[in-house]
């Protein structure tokens, strides 16, 4: 796969991810936990078919015997799947997407303190600016009497994502020691996504009962589970072999822009001034940090080629 094709596919991934908010706003009867259940169930079904094709029947024989790290990652995925959809039913799409954009900064902090990774000054600066943006948004909304439950639920998503990404980093590269990473076997972490979808569906089913989704809702929720979630997740795993992590993180920020635009145009949900200011600080800090990281990586690659 060429670099330009990988970039195009990564943009497609963010475009698919960004459709969750506007699709949710057009549901007829499904609400709350039922939305989460059907999305996770359709996601699990799509992943089960795809992974069975990729891994064969051994996938199911080995499922209960996967190492603890796979199951911990699966629990993180389940929190991400559940928290994201629940937050969309409690607050604005723009606020949820801005909260999710914190994941790279929280991941950097976790990698510093749990994996002993050294963070450059630009990343510390981005963390400080992003944290200030969130504090400002929460403070303004608390002053205005805006309920914070939706934002707090949304905050579980970047925290779970940061734990998950830190686990994936440890599995892929050990504690950061190149010799350790070279000698360690690579653990297949893709089944963790399936485990997460199954846990999310199982936990939310009792809370969603009795099910009230209409045929129209089922079509939209099936789209969310398969096209908005399962396919982009599988594509991202493939693209991670071609694109460097900073470039993936930078392109991934398009989800916030696409998502706000979709729901503004398709559902008339205009973001508040507080969300726009806080989001601008978070996104600006992330763009600065990831752009500098990508520039540094390309400089190193050019020097090595020379």
Kindly report, residue by residue over 51-61, the tens digit of the pLDDT.
Answer: 898 888 888 88
What residues have CB less than 8 Å from 90, skipping those under 6 apart? 147, 149, 150, 153
Does some domain include residue 139? yes
Give the residue-averaged pLDDT of 43-55. 89
pLDDT of residue 44: 92
Q: Which domain holds residue 281?
A: 92-146+272-306
Does some domain include residue 127? yes
Q: Is 32 helix (H, G, I), strand (E, B) or coil?
A: coil
Give the residue-averaged pLDDT of 230-245. 80
Does some domain include residue 206? no
Does some domain include residue 125? yes
Does some domain include residue 75? no
Does some domain include residue 116? yes
pLDDT of residue 76: 92
How far is the C-alpha of 41 from the C-alpha of 254, rounded, in Å?
Answer: 26
Q: Does pTM top 0.85 for this prediction?
A: no
How far is the C-alpha of 122 from the C-alpha of 139, rounded, in Å?
Answer: 25
Does some domain include residue 292? yes
How far is the C-alpha of 23 from the C-alpha of 146, rounded, in Å?
Answer: 24
């Amino acid at each position: 796969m060429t670099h330009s094709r990988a970039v195009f596919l990564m943009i497609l991934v963010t475009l698919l991810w960004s459709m969750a908010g506007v699709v949710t706003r057009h549901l007829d009867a499904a609400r709350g936990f039922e939305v989460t259940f059907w999305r996770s169930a359709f996601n699990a079904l799509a992943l089960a078919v795809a992974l069975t094709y990729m891994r064969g029947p051994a996938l199911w024989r080995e499922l209960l015997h996967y190492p603890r790290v796979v199951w911990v990652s699966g629990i993180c995925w389940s929190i991400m799947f559940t928290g994201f959809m629940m937050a969309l039913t409690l607050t604005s799409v723009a606020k949820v997407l801005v909260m999710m954009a914190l994941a790279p900064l929280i991941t950097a902090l976790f990698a510093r303190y749990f994996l002993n990774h050294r963070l450059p000054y630009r990343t510390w600066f981005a963390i400080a600016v992003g944290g200030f943006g969130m504090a400002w948004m929460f403070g303004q909304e608390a002053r205005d009497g805006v309920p914070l439950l939706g934002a707090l639920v949304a905050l579980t998503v970047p925290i779970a994502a940061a734990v998950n990404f830190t686990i994936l980093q440890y599995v892929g590269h050990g504690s950061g020691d190149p010799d350790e990473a070279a000698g360690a076997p690579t653990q297949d972490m893709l089944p963790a996504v399936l485990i997460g979808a199954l846990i999310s569906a199982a936990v939310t089913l009792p809370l969603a009962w009795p099910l009230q989704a209409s045929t129209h809702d089922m079509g939209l929720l099936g789209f969310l589970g398969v096209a908005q979630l399962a396919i982009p997740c599988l594509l991202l795993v493939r693209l991670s072999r071609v694109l460097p992590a900073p470039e993936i993180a930078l392109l991934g920020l398009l989800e916030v822009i696409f998502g706000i635009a979709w729901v503004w145009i398709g559902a008339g949900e205009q973001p508040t001034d507080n969300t726009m200011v806080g989001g601008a600080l978070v996104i600006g800090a992330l763009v600065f940090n990831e752009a500098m990281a990508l520039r540094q990586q390309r400089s190193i690659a050019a020097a090595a080629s020379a």
